[in-house]
């Protein structure tokens, strides 16, 4: 697969991840509780490789906002070492715990924050991926509180309304 | 099956055995260091252990430029920053750390800050995020046989403000030289010998069964477990047994190399939280938690535990145990060893013995769930599951 195609897939996956986190805050009590535990103003950045897509989000106490400001210094920056690894990660070929175990990530900031982010991402992935993939990449399959179809439907609706930009 | 990908690094030069201490000056000269800072704690100073190191350095023409002894049992970020300022104030050009886990981890933290030319260790927190920076020659002389910190790429340092133990992971944390000399551990009391030895056992078991385990780290783990199972009781019962002492130092170093390359797991995640929240000494927390976490992991880690069993109890004994029961038998063998160590050295087996109360368990669990070691535990753990494990250990 060409690098350009990988970049496109990863960029879409990052947007989808953010959208899922936003929707699951409203639909999934466990996700809402995890988010509420974040300190207000907490920000995470995910970099997926050299000149590759990135996602920065900030918890404002009510909602996980996407930060589009260039050069924003997040409190916790997770850098995936290469786009090829990001592609594996965001297409369900590898879980975050395995990426961590394979030294595929670097972290700037407190490692405790990565654990917080990992729980959020793992839970979102349990909704976004079909069970046979989630089973392979997640440390444990969580009990879903709503139907993934409902989550996807809300995400599509959200994108149509430009809710996540 | 091989892991899909793994990394392995250990660049620490080991000086091990007879007259190892006497070779420190030569190593410093090789690294063009003339004004080493000698780092240690007040207890080791009082016991005369530091004097021994100081004297051999002096005899070989390498006088430490300064001595820093103000390192508490549980080192903290502020202590690390104070060491950095002290080093600069005395214009030192190398660090020689003599002590247990707290001294070595403080020294590692300070060396990292100095090499990155910063003032505050919090400004460089993270994992594999640093460049090599300036080289600060760094020699460690462990006075316990357990932490393995002399050969690891991680420093664990307490954040007093948040009551948590923070991990600083970087290949540039590794010392240049580690010195294993039985004279340094010979006077270690039986209880400390036993508990630090259990810490090493814990490193080896967790390193060989966690998600990051790889063939090289497992080889180190297995060899370490074999040495520990044959020497820990000997070293605990007879501190002057030089052979057992050195074997335990080697085992601790090997277990350290193993977990530096494959991380640990839930025993350490919860143990760090017990240290951060309740000030339970790290090594004692390991002994209390180990059988309970092994039991929790058993449904997914039985095969890994079964592979460890022959190293732990010997091939003859392991061979007659049906393969389906070997995982369970390992947990039992660990329990038996801990009970023997409890009986001969008084290591605690329950959290109540180290002052932990039921009311603290939820806070410990909520802290543990954010510890980096938990991500590679073979079985995922929620706050509730951690509380249950802690209750069993209470
Ligand atoms: Fe340990």
- Domains, in order of start, for chain A: 3-156 (3.30.1050)
Partners of B211 on chain A (C-beta within 8 Å) are 97-98, 101
Query: What is the CA(A132)–ligand 1 centre distance, in A?
Result: 36
Q: Is CATH 1.20.1090.10 what the domain over B190-393 is classified as, yes or no?
A: yes
The CA-atom distances, in angstroms, between B366 and each of B162, B206, B276 are: 12, 21, 12
According to the model, what pLDDT value does residue B243 have? 96
Please report, in tens digits, the pLDDT of each residue of chain B (394 residues total).
788 999 999 999 999 999 999 999 999 999 999 999 999 999 999 999 999 999 999 999 999 999 999 999 888 999 999 999 999 999 999 999 999 999 999 999 999 999 999 999 999 888 888 898 999 999 999 999 999 999 999 999 999 888 888 889 898 999 999 999 999 999 999 999 999 999 999 999 999 999 999 999 999 999 999 999 999 999 999 999 999 999 999 999 999 999 999 999 999 999 999 999 999 999 999 999 999 999 999 999 999 999 999 999 999 999 999 999 999 999 999 999 999 999 999 999 999 999 999 999 999 999 999 999 999 999 999 999 999 999 999 9
Chain B: closest CA distance from residue A64 (Å): 20
Q: Is CATH 3.40.50.300 what the domain over B13-184 is classified as, yes or no?
A: no
Tokens of B184: 């340094």
pLDDT one-digit tens code per residue, A112-161: 888 999 999 999 999 999 999 999 899 888 899 999 999 999 999 999 98
pLDDT at A1 over 80: no
Tokens of B234: 């000997």
Count the residues in chain B.
394
Q: What is the 3-state secondary structure (H, E, C) of chain B?
A: CCCCCCCCCCCCEEEECCCCHHHHHHHHHHCCCCCEEEECCHHHHHCCHHHHHHHHHHHCCCCCCEEECCCCCCCEHHHHHHHHHHHHHCCCCEEEEEECHHHHHHHHHHHHHHHCCCCCHHHHCEECCCCCCCCCCEEEEECCCCCCHHHCCEEEEEECCCCEEEEEECHHHCCCEEEECHHHHCCCCHHHHHHHHHHHHHHHHHHHHCCCCCHHHHHHHHHHHHHHHHHHHHHHHCCCCHHHHHHHHHHHHHHHHHHHHHCCCHHHHHHHHHHHHHCCCHHHHHHHHHHHHHHHHHHHHHHHHHHHHHHHHCHHHHHCCCHHHHHHHHHHHHHHHHHHHHHHHCCCCCHHHHCCCHHHHHHHHHHHCCCHHHHHCCCCCCHHHHHHHHHHHC
How far apart, in whole angstroms, are the C-alpha atoms of residue B221 and residue B260? 11
Nearest residue of A to residue B367, measured between CA atoms: A112
According to the model, what pLDDT value does residue A69 have? 85
Partners of A138 on chain B (C-beta within 8 Å) are 380
The CA-atom distances, in angstroms, between B236 and each of B127, B231, B242, B271, B354 are: 36, 8, 12, 22, 20
Domain ranges of chain B: 13-184, 190-393
Partners of B210 on chain A (C-beta within 8 Å) are 101
- Over residues A32-48, the mean pLDDT reads 93
Average pLDDT across chain A, whole number: 92
Query: What is the CA(A146)–ligand 1 centre distance, in A?
Result: 41
Q: Using alpha carbons only, what angle is made at residue B297 by residues B144 and B345, rounded to the nearest 5 degrees?
A: 30
Tokens of B177: 């030289």
* B312/A contact by beta carbon, under 8 A: no
Are B126 and A105 an interchain contact pair (Cβ–Cβ within 8 Å)? no
Are B127 and A105 an interchain contact pair (Cβ–Cβ within 8 Å)? yes
How far apart, in whole angstroms, are the C-alpha atoms of residue B9 and residue B182? 26
Nearest residue of A to residue B264, measured between CA atoms: A101
String of DSSP letters for A66-103:
EP--TT---SEEEEES-HHHHHHHHTTSS-HHHHHHTT
According to the model, what pLDDT value does residue B134 have? 95
Distance between start and end Cα atoms, chain A: 28
How far apart, in whole angstroms, are the C-alpha atoms of residue B208 and residue B3? 12
Q: Between B307 and A110, whose confidence is greater? A: B307
- Report the predicted TM-score, pTM, of the whole model to 2 decimal places: 0.93
pLDDT at A58 over 80: yes
According to the model, what pLDDT value does residue B111 have? 97
How far apart, in whole angstroms, are the C-alpha atoms of residue B196 and residue A35? 38
Q: Of B218, B177, B148, whose CA–CA distance to B11 is shortest?
A: B177
Query: What is the CA(B203)–ligand 1 centre distance, in A?
Result: 6
């Amino acid at each position: 697969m060409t690098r350009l195609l990988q970049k496109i897939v990863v960029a879409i996956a990052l947007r989808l991840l953010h959208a899922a986190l936003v929707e699951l805050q409203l639909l999934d009590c466990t996700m809402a509780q995890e988010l509420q535990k974040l300190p207000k103003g907490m920000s995470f950045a995910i970099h997926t490789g050299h000149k590759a897509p990135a996602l920065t989000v900030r918890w404002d106490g009510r909602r996980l906002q996407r930060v589009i400001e260039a050069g924003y210094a997040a409190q916790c920056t997770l850098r995936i070492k290469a786009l090829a690894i990001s592609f594996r990660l965001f297409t369900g070929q590898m879980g975050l715990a395995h990426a961590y175990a394979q030294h595929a990530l670097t972290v700037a900031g407190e490692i405790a924050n990565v654990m917080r982010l990992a729980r959020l991402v793992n839970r979102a992935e349990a909704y976004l991926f079909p069970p046979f993939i989630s089973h392979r990449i997640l440390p444990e399959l969580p009990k879903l509180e709503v139907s993934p179809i409902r989550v996807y439907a809300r995400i599509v609706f959200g994108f149509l309304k430009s809710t996540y930009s | 099956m091989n892991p899909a990908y793994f990394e392995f690094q250990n660049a620490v030069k080991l000086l091990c055995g007879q007259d190892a201490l006497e070779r420190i000056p030569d190593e410093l000269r090789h690294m063009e260091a003339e004004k080493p800072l000698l780092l240690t704690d007040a207890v080791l100073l009082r016991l005369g252990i530091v004097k021994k190191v100081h004297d051999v350095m002096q005899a070989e023409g390498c006088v430490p430029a300064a001595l820093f002894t103000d390192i508490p049992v549980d080192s903290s970020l502020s202590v690390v920053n104070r060491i950095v300022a002290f080093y600069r104030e005395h214009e030192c050009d190398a660090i020689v750390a003599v002590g247990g886990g707290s001294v070595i981890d403080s020294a590692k933290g300070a060396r990292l800050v100095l090499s990155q030319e910063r003032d505050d260790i919090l400004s460089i927190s993270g994992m594999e995020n640093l460049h090599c920076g300036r080289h600060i020659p760094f020699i460690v002389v462990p006075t316990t046989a357990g932490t393995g910190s002399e050969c690891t790429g991680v420093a664990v340092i307490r954040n007093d403000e948040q009551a948590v133990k923070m991990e600083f992971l970087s290949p540039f944390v590794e010392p240049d030289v580690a010195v294993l000399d039985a004279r340094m551990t010979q006077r270690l009391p039986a209880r400390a010998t036993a508990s630090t030895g259990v810490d090493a056992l814990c490193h080896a078991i967790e390193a060989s069964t966690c998600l990051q385990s790889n063939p090289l780290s497992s080889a180190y783990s297995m060899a370490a477990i074999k040495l520990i199972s044959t020497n820990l009781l000997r070293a605990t019962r007879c501190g002057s047994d030089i052979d057992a002492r050195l074997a335990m130092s080697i085992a601790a170093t090997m277990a350290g190399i193993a977990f530096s390359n494959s991380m640990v797991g839930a025993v350490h995640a919860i143990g760090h939280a017990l240290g951060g929240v309740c000030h339970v000494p790290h090594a004692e927390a390991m002994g209390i938690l180990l059988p309970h976490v092994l039991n929790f992991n058993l449904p997914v880690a039985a095969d890994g535990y079964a592979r460890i069993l022959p190293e732990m109890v010997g091939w003859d004994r392991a061979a007659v145990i049906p393969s389906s029961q070997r995982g369970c038998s390992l947990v039992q063998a660990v329990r038996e060893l801990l009970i023997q160590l409890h009986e001969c050295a008084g290591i605690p087996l329950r959290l109540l013995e180290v002052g932990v109360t039921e009311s603290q368990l939820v806070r410990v669990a909520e802290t543990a769930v954010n510890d980096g070691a938990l991500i590679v535990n073979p079985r995922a753990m929620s706050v509730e599951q951690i509380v249950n494990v802690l209750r069993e250990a209470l």
